[in-house]
Structure 1
Amino acid sequence: MKQLGKRLAEMHLNGKSDRFGFHVPTHCGATEQDNTFEDKWSTFWTERRIGDLVRRLADADVTRLDKELRQHVWPILFSKETDAKIKPAILHGDLWSGNYGVGPDGTAIIFDPSSYYGHNEAELGICHMFGGFSSAFFRGYHDVIPKLQPHYEERQKAYEPALRILGDASQLYHHLNHALMFGGSYKSGATSIMRDLVRWGKSQGARHRADL
Structure 2
Amino acid sequence: MSSAAVQLELAAMSDDPIREWILTEGKATKITRISPIGGGCINYASRYDTDAGSFFVKSNRNIGPSMFEGEALGLGAMYETSTIRVPRPFKVGPLPTGGSFIIMEFIEFGGSRGSQSALGRKLAEMHKAGKSSKGFGFDVDNTIGSTPQINTWTSNWIEFYAEHRLGYQLTLALKQFGDSEIHEKGERLIKNTQQLFEGAVLEPCLLHGDLWSGNISSDKNGDPVILDPACYYGHNEADFGMSWCAGFGGSFYTSYFEVMPKQPGFEKRRDLYMLYHYLNHYNLFGYGYRSSAMSIIDNYLRMLKA
* 2:211 and 2:246 in contact (8 A); partners too: no
Show the counterpart of 1:189: 292
Q: Superposition RMSD on alpha carbons, in Å?
A: 1.4
Q: Deviations over 1:99-125 (max 9, x none)?
A: 111112221111111100000001012
Which amino acid in structure 2 is aligned with residue 8 of structure 1? L
Q: Deviations over 1:47-78 (max 9, x none)?
A: 01000111111121111112321343x12113
Show the counterpart of 1:63: 183
Which amino acid in structure 2 is aligned with residue 7 of structure 1? K
State the shift of 1:26 in Å.
1.4
| Alignment equivalent of 2:195, drawn from 61, 76, 81 | 76
Q: Which runs of 4+ in 1 moved over 6 A?
A: none
State the shift of 1:9 in Å.
0.1
Distance 2:159 2:213 in 1: 29
- Would you say 1:175 and 2:295 are equivalent positions? no
Q: Deviations over 1:77-104 (max 9, x none)?
A: 134x53xx21100000001011111112
- Would you say 1:145 and 2:260 are equivalent positions? yes
Show the counterpart of 2:167: 51
Show the counterpart of 2:227: 111
State the shift of 1:133 in Å.
2.3
Distance 1:114 1:100 in 2: 13
Distance 1:125 1:53 in 2: 14
Which amino acid in structure 1 is aligned with residue 278 of structure 2? H
Higher-Rg structure is: 2
State the shift of 1:134 in Å.
2.0
SS class of match (2:225): strand
Normalised by the length of structure 2, the TM-score is 0.59
Distance 1:116 1:70 in 2: 20
SS class of match (2:131): coil
State the shift of 1:178 in Å.
0.5
Distance 1:53 1:198 in 2: 18
SS class of match (2:304): helix
Which amino acid in structure 2 is aligned with residue 16 of structure 1? K
SS class of match (2:289): helix
Normalised by the length of structure 1, the TM-score is 0.84
Which amino acid in structure 2 is aligned with residue 120 of structure 1? N
- Aligned length, in residue pairs: 186
SS class of match (2:127): helix
Distance 1:57 1:179 in 2: 8
Flag the structure with higher helix content. Answer: 1
Which amino acid in structure 1 is aligned with residue 240 of structure 2? L
Distance 1:99 1:131 in 2: 9
Which amino acid in structure 1 is aligned with residue 190 of structure 2? R
- Structure 2: where are the runs of 5+ without partners? 1-115
- Would you say 1:16 and 2:131 are equivalent positions? yes
Show the counterpart of 2:51: none
Distance 1:7 1:131 in 2: 16
The verdict on how the C-alpha distance between 1:135 and 1:178 changes in structure 2, with shifts beyond 3 A counting, is same
Distance 1:172 1:111 in 2: 22
- Structure 1: where are the runs of 5+ without partners? 160-170, 206-212
State the shift of 1:131 in Å.
4.0
Of all paired residues, the percent bearing the same amino acid is 40
